[in-house]
Amino acid sequence: MKLSKPQLIVNGKRIDGRGPQDLRQIKIEVGVLKNADGSALVEIGGTKVLAAVYGPREVVPRHQEQVDRAIIRCRYRMLSFSTLGERKSPAPTRREIELSKVIREALEPAVLSMQFPRAAIDIFVEVINADGGTRTAGITAASVALADAGIPMLDLVTAVAVGKVDGVIVLDLNEIEDMYGEADMPIAAMPSLKRITMIQLNGVLTPDEFKKALALALEGIDKIYQLQKEALRKKYVEIEE
């Protein structure tokens, strides 16, 4: 049930005090799980997502294996206690099944899967706390976890959502903005290659708004990309020193 729409922009500021072009506060931690081959925890505002990567490893069931490349499998899940309102049912929802596919397809172009024929790379994305942008935080976390697992990639994949709230193009929507805004456009890219690997649009943007939103998303992606690299460097360079 949607309650009446709150005012989302007051005196040029958003409900959480940000300007339209601001990201929420971001924290990225690498290698947070001992038993996974690679892992990362990404916090962006109130959204908190954990990604774990296993592989390259033997494919079970065997009939899924490909002779020329590794298969990449992904499961996105929201923990029951992750949502603001009612507890989410632990059974997989249609949304979770769809987002698992969306996240996998956003990451696949970066992974050099031809280097691991007959193998599987498994990615688990667990939403610990949901406050908008869980698919994009999941992609950002999963690509760091893939790097942490030592999986060769063309580039990291970095994602963020842009959208329109109260007629204003804004970066990195929170849950309320996502729920009551006019448009929400999650985007993922390989930043140094300048290649977009995912773009979705829920709502309506004019061609001009679309261009402005895309440019804003790419700026945000560049900032998050620096934080991903910094987090990886922090783990690996400090270990080497």
Residues that bind ligand ADP (CB under 6 A): 83, 85, 88, 130-135, 175, 178, 184, 186
Question: Which residues lie closer than 8 Å to 173 by C-beta, 6 or more apart?
Answer: 132, 133, 161, 162, 163, 165, 181, 184
Cβ at position 118, least distance to ligand ADP in Å? 33
Cβ at position 97, least distance to ligand ADP in Å? 13
Strands 71-78 and 119-129: parallel
| Between 132 and 191, CB nearer to ligand ADP | 132
Entry field: residues in the chain: 241
Cβ at position 144, least distance to ligand ADP in Å? 17
| Between 151 and 161, CB nearer to ligand ADP | 161
Phi and psi angles of residue 180, each rounded to the nearest 5 degrees, phi first: -105, -5
Per the CB < 8 A criterion, the answer to whether 123 and 145 are in contact is yes
| Between 31 and 138, CB nearer to ligand ADP | 138
Cα 71 from Cα 214, distance rounded (Å): 30
Cα 43 from Cα 50, distance rounded (Å): 9
Peptide bond between residue 92 and the one before it cis (omega within 30 degrees of 0)? no
| Between 120 and 189, CB nearer to ligand ADP | 189
Cβ at position 137, least distance to ligand ADP in Å? 8
| Between 146 and 162, CB nearer to ligand ADP | 162
Cβ at position 229, least distance to ligand ADP in Å? 23
